Amino acid sequence: MPLPPQIPIASPAASRRFAVSLGAFYGAIFTVIGCHLPFFPVWLKAVGIDAGWIGIIAAVPAVTRFTVLPVLTGLAERYAAVRGAMIATTIATTIGFAVIGTQHWPLAVLFAYALTAAVWTPTVPLTDAYALRGVVRYGLDYGRLRLWGSAAFIIGALGCGWLADLISKKHLIWIITASAALGAVVSLGLQPLDVRKTRITTQHGSAALLRDRGFLALLAASALIQSSHSTYYVFGSITWQLAGLGGLTIAMLWTIGVVAEIAVFAFSPRFPVQPSTLMIIGGLGAVARWLITAQEPPVAVLAVVQLTHGLSFALSQLGTMGLMVKHVPIPVVTRAQGYLAASTGIISSSASIVAGLVYTRYRQGAYYPMAVMALAGALIIWASRKSLAAHPQSAASGG
């Protein structure tokens, strides 16, 4: 479903430049995620860190989402410096991963990773906020901008998976670092958005958001559904590696899910349903996905199950962004993205730690709590759908 834009006020050439530069940046930052998400836990295991510590370390980015991230997104919005913050975070991320690569002791890795995550995790919320501003200004479609990130995730995952079969697993961190450096270079081509500072309106709109039951329900539902991926993100590749699958096969399994994600983003303008309905379908799709994955299916079945990533992640993301544009004033959309990331961080950090504890004893049984979380998210958005539809905020009035 396309997000509802205002009438475009810029030239087609300016719109095209914005779309191209943003698409390239989405591609660059998701190349990092494509390398990091499947193979950072593999690198941790390769340098001798056990499952308990891996669960704790993997929870660090989620913790920064509800501590450091809201502060940085708030400052970027306050000083109309979203683009500058995107550039700064990508440069700092590159430095951070380079430092992590020199550490092998669990506490040292945890400390270096915490500092890196503090500057890395704001990048995607800042980019989504920058994208939504462009959607409104240029009349673009969020899904078709965002799909370039998904496509790049495939390139990162496949490339890192291919290299994982050729080099020592202890060197995977340097592939992640190199992809982060690419993002820093691409960030320099981002187009400025002439956004006036709206300090009074922003402060008023931010306070109003936190009193809005519909917005709070959106935060909770989105956080629960997206955080239900925690076991998959942290232990999916490790489980498949222990089952004897090679790096390229693991990357292919991740890729199947992202191909489904790309298809959903590409066809999103044709979806005839409301954003809240997309989130409900996404949450229920996640429930089915985690229940089947918990049964330790064979690779052929697992490959089919991976297609439901288009539901569990992509539909949920589209629904969340659609409700953001309809319900959140544009002057405070960056801060709203910060609140969303913070909510997700609180839940996903807890889920990652729980996943580590449960996985140590029950292995695939760690997917059952994830199914419960996804179901809770779907039920929350279902119960709040009328509130979100009946009381949208006005982007023009600033809330």
Measured from the Cβ of residue 354, the count of other Cβ atoms closer than 10 Å reads 18
Residue of 285, 257, 222, 278 lying closest to 1 (CA atoms)? 278
Placement of tokens 């691409």 in the chain: 186
- The amino acid occupying position 76 is A
pLDDT over 50 (residue 279): yes
Mean pLDDT, residues 313-333: 88
Instruction: Give pLDDT tens digits for 69-98.
Output: 889 988 998 888 999 999 999 999 999 999
* Token pair in block for residue 144: 């078709």
Round the average pLDDT of the chain to a whole number and report it.
Answer: 87
Phi/psi for 397 (5° steps) reads -90, -10
- 387 vs 305, which has greater pLDDT? 305
**114-123, 205-214, 302-311: range with lowest mean pLDDT:** 205-214
What is the Cα 327 distance to its own chain's centre?
20
In angstroms, the CA 93 to CA 186 distance is 14
Task: Show Cβ contacts of residue 105 under 8 Å, excluding neighbours closer than 6 positions.
Answer: none
Residues belonging to the chain: 399
For the chain, percent of residues with pLDDT exceeding 90: 52
Task: Show Cβ contacts of residue 267 under 8 Å, excluding neighbours closer than 6 positions.
Answer: none
pLDDT over 90 (residue 123): yes
* Token pair in block for residue 181: 């450096």
In angstroms, the CA 94 to CA 314 distance is 27
CA atoms within 13 A on the CB side of 189: 16
In angstroms, the CA 326 to CA 316 distance is 15
Rounded to two decimals, the pTM is: 0.77
Q: 10: alpha, beta or left, given left = phi > 0 and alpha = psi -120 to 50?
A: beta
Residue 353 is predicted with a pLDDT of: 84
Residue 392 is predicted with a pLDDT of: 52
pLDDT over 80 (residue 390): no
Instruction: Give pLDDT tens digits for 41-57.
Output: 989 999 999 888 988 89
Mean pLDDT, residues 192-217: 68
Instruction: Give pLDDT tens digits for 218-275.
Output: 999 999 999 999 999 888 988 898 888 888 888 889 889 989 999 999 998 888 888 9
* Token pair in block for residue 16: 């095209």
Residue 1 is predicted with a pLDDT of: 47
Residue 278 is predicted with a pLDDT of: 95
